[in-house]
């Protein structure tokens, strides 16, 4: 279930209450997010849409513990993250969040295997255990035969699949995808969305995705629209709000 | 070493840049090694100076002699245990370029005055019995391929004629830094052949004293003993004498320090710039590492680690080459710097300096990487 009215039952995986984010630019105060509420249950696939500058990426950054809000709270799996120190947030991210970026952001000097292995280096897994996890993750995204390829030897779609494998390899609580198909052709985009849908359905992975692409948003179970820092539910609501 | 792959991959990201940076370290540390060798060679006299030995020379100049009779008078001064004398010979062996120090020694007291220069007993006895006998340091014997029993002709300079010597012994140093490039022969043989005007005159004295703490008092007493005579003396510790000798050639220490400072400052700029570029190029990657869960400290250590690894590799290569140079090429001055060695302490000091430069040059980019905010970094990409 996904709610934006702040009246969730308190059992949702992700709970956001009264979230504000303001920036100071010059003498001007910019309100990016205003009093935002959100409840997302485990296993939901949620798409955030909205015009540029509406605060989608800011919301994702706040959810991922990469940024701190001006007001309000974010609770994920019982952890209130808004008051965590920078160090604790880093540890929390390692355990709970898998990031997928528009530009893949793979490390070019590492092979697909090594890129996917990165989050596991922060765990106590042995080398052979890490290998098993990496191979499993690469199999899920259909790249079991590309383990020793460097990013430059892969297509854009394949790079994004490696990025997905990196995001899921440590079995995080949820995935945050910032325009995961924004830099891909239609065919590759469909493949990536297929993998995300599969992760949501088969593995009950909670996925929050920012996208400009209506076809990508269609794959999600819920589509939320951000406009002028306020979240609204459904296509009709977006049309009304825009 | 689960992070080894990550560190190595980052190091080898730009192989040419890596090679050039390591090369900069290698060249700088090679120069450091050679400068340290030259400095050590100049300061060797001070380092090996016996704490209980005083040098008594003519007050006017070291090249002015002193009477042989002074020895007994010095021995009467409280605190003086032993007196030995030396003369500089300055002959030429085959060619003027074959420079080495030749000394007319006081056979009776030489071994007690210089216990660190060791001559095997049997060789010493043969030398004592042989009026034309000579003893050579192992380095000089090795340099000219001399063996015991060889006949060595040396052409006199201020004392004319060719002097024939029998090599009766080869001495070695008790410590690695001891000067093993001297050539000694007997006072009696020297006296036999020098013109009358040189007879009974020594170049300088070595006064061995009972306690180094009394050096100043005894030196003053010796100089007072011979004040207002035809041959006034100037007495100082062997260390001060050696330091004065080096100073005559200019401020070597300052020169070496200046060159070294310029080299390392330049290296600091080169490496600092390289590391800054390396970090700037990977802003997004460092942000991703942090997003994935790597801590700020890890990122700091990653960048600093790369800088330190380059420093250690480059430093090891440079110091290794310097060591190789001293071992294979040796003293390029043909004998003026007999102690031309790169000791282990200098190698360790060099590596510490390299690590210091690596740390300082990597610190600013590493702190920048540590402070990098993921949100800002990803927005820039």
Nearest by CB: B10 against A97, A109, A119: A109
Q: Can you tell me the distance from the alpha carbon of A164 to that of A178, in angstroms, rounded to the nearest whole number?
A: 12
CB contact under 8 A, A105 and B284: yes
**Are the beta carbons of B288 and A105 separated by less than 8 Å?**
yes
Taking all residues of chain B, what is their mean pLDDT, rounded to a whole number?
A: 90
**Overall domain count for chain B:** 2
pLDDT of residue B335: 59
Distance, first Cα to last Cα, chain B: 31
Predicted TM-score (pTM) of this structure:
0.71
State which residues form the domain around B165.
60-231
Would you say residue B272 lies in a domain? Answer: yes
**Domain coordinates in residue numbering, chain A:** 42-66+84-241
Q: How does pLDDT run across B301-342, given as a tens digit for each residue?
A: 999 999 999 999 999 999 999 999 988 887 776 656 667 788
- What residues have CB less than 8 Å from B315, skipping those under 6 apart? B25, B26, B29, B350, B351, B353, B354, B355
Tell me: do B318 and B373 sit in the same domain.
yes
Contact predicate B5/A107, CB 8 Å: no
Report the C-alpha gap between A223 and A238 in whole angstroms. 10
In the block, tokens 């310029």 appear at B262
CB B116 within 8 A of CB B173: yes
Interface predicted TM-score (ipTM) of this complex, two decimals = 0.89
Decide if B39 is inside a domain: yes
B39 plus B110 within the same structural domain: no
Average pLDDT over residues A84-89: 91
Which class in CATH covers the domain with range A42-66+84-241? alpha beta
pLDDT of B243 = 76
| Assigned domain for B177 exists | yes
Residue A239 confidence (pLDDT) above 60:
no
Are B296 and A118 a contacting pair at CB < 8 A?
A: no
Which residues of B fall within a CB distance of 8 Å from A119? Answer: 292-293
Cα–Cα distance between B334 and B139 in angstroms, integer?
Answer: 12
Query: Helix %, strand %, coil % for chain A, to 5?
Result: 40, 25, 35
B69 lies in the same domain as B208:
yes
Same domain, B118 and B258: no
By the CB < 8 Å criterion, does A90 face chain B? yes
Residue A135 distance to chain B (closest CA, Å): 17
Whether A125 and chain B come into contact, CB under 8 Å, resolves to no
From chain A, the residues in CB contact with B292 under 8 A are: 93-94, 99, 118-119, 122, 166
pLDDT-derived band at B171, boundaries 50, 70, 90: very high
Alpha helices by DSSP H, chain B:
4-11, 15-48, 70-75, 110-113, 121-129, 138-144, 187-193, 215-225, 238-247, 252-281, 283-292, 296-328, 344-371, 374-380
- If asked whether residues B121 and B207 sit together in one domain, one would say yes
Distance CA B212, CA A239 (A): 99
Q: Are strands B80-88 and B204-209 parallel, antiparallel or unpaired?
A: antiparallel
Name the minimum distance, in Å, from the CA of B288 to any CA of chain A: 7
Instruction: Give the separation between CA B275 and CA B269, rounded to whole angstroms.
Output: 10
Q: Does B245 touch chain A (CB under 8 A)?
A: no
Please name which of A33, A35, A31, A42 lies closest in space to residue A6, comparing C-alpha atoms. A35
Whether residue B184 is found in the same domain as residue B267 = no
Minimal Cα distance from B373: which residue of A?
A: A66
Question: What are the tens digits of pLDDT across the range A124-177?
Answer: 999 999 999 999 999 999 999 999 999 999 999 999 999 999 999 999 999 999
Q: How far is B290 from chain A (nearest CA, A)?
A: 7
Residues B40 and B77 in one domain: no
| Range name among B168-177, B232-241, B372-381 with the lowest pLDDT average | B372-381
């Amino acid at each position: 279930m996904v709610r934006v009215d702040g009246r969730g039952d308190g059992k949702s995986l992700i709970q956001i209450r009264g979230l504000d984010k303001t920036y100071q630019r010059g003498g001007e105060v910019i309100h990016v997010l205003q009093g935002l509420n959100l409840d997302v249950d485990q296993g939901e696939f949620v798409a955030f849409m909205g015009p540029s500058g509406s605060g989608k990426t800011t919301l994702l950054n706040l959810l991922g513990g990469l940024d701190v809000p001006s007001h309000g709270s974010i609770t994920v799996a019982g952890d209130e993250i808004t008051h965590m120190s920078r160090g604790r947030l880093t540890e929390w991210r390692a355990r709970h969040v898998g990031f997928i970026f528009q530009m893949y952001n793979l490390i070019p000097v590492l092979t697909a295997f090594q890129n996917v292995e990165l989050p596991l280096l922060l765990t106590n897994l042995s080398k052979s255990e890490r290998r098993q996890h990496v191979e499993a993750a690469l199999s899920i995204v259909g790249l079991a035969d590309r383990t020793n390829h460097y990013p430059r030897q892969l297509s854009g779609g394949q790079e994004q699949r490696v990025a997905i494998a990196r995001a899921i390899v440590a079995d995080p609580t949820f995935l945050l995808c910032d325009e995961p198909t924004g830099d891909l052709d239609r065919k590759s985009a469909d493949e990536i969305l297929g993998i995300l849908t599969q992760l949501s359905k088969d593995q009950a992975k909670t996925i929050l995705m920012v996208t400009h692409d209506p076809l990508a948003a269609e794959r999600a179970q819920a589509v939320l629209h951000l406009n002028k820092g306020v979240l609204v539910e459904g296509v009709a609501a977006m049309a009304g709000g825009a | 070493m689960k992070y080894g792959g990550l560190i190595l991959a980052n190091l080898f990201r730009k192989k040419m840049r890596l090679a050039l940076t390591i090369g900069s370290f290698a060249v700088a540390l090679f120069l450091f090694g050679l400068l340290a060798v030259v400095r050590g060679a100049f300061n060797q006299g001070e380092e090996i100076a016996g704490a209980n030995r005083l040098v008594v020379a003519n007050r006017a100049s070291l090249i002015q002699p002193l009477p042989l009779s002074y020895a007994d008078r010095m021995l009467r001064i409280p605190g003086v245990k032993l007196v030995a004398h030396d003369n500089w010979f300055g002959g030429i062996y085959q060619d003027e370029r074959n420079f080495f120090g030749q000394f007319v020694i006081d056979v009776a007291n030489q071994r007690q005055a210089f216990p660190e220069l060791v001559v095997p007993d049997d060789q010493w006895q043969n030398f004592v019995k042989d009026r034309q006998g000579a003893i050579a340091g192992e380095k000089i014997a090795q340099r000219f391929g001399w063996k015991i029993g060889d006949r060595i002709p040396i052409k006199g300079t201020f004392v004319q004629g060719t002097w024939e010597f029998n090599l009766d012994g080869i001495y070695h140093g008790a410590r690695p830094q001891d000067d093993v490039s001297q050539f000694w022969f007997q006072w009696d043989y020297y006296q036999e052949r020098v013109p009358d005007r040189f007879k009974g005159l020594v170049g300088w004295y070595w006064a061995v004293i009972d306690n180094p703490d009394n050096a100043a008092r005894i030196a003053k007493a010796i100089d007072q003993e011979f004040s207002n005579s035809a041959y006034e003396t100037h007495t100082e510790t062997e260390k001060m004498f050696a330091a004065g000798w080096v100073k005559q050639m200019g401020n070597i220490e300052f020169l070496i320090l200046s060159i070294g400072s310029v080299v390392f400052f330049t290296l600091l700029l080169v490496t600092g710039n390289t590391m800054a570029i390396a970090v700037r190029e990977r802003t997004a990657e460092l942000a991703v590492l942090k997003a994935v869960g790597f801590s700020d400290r890890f990122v700091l250590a990653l960048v600093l680690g790369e800088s330190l690894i380059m420093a250690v590799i480059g430093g090891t290569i440079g110091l290794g080459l310097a060591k190789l140079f001293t071992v294979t090429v040796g003293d390029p001055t043909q004998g003026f710097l007999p102690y031309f060695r790169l000791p282990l302490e200098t190698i360790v000091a060099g590596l510490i300096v390299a690590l210091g430069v690596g740390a300082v040059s990597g610190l600013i980019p590493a702190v920048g990487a540590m402070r990098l905010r993921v949100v800002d970094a990803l927005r820039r990409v």
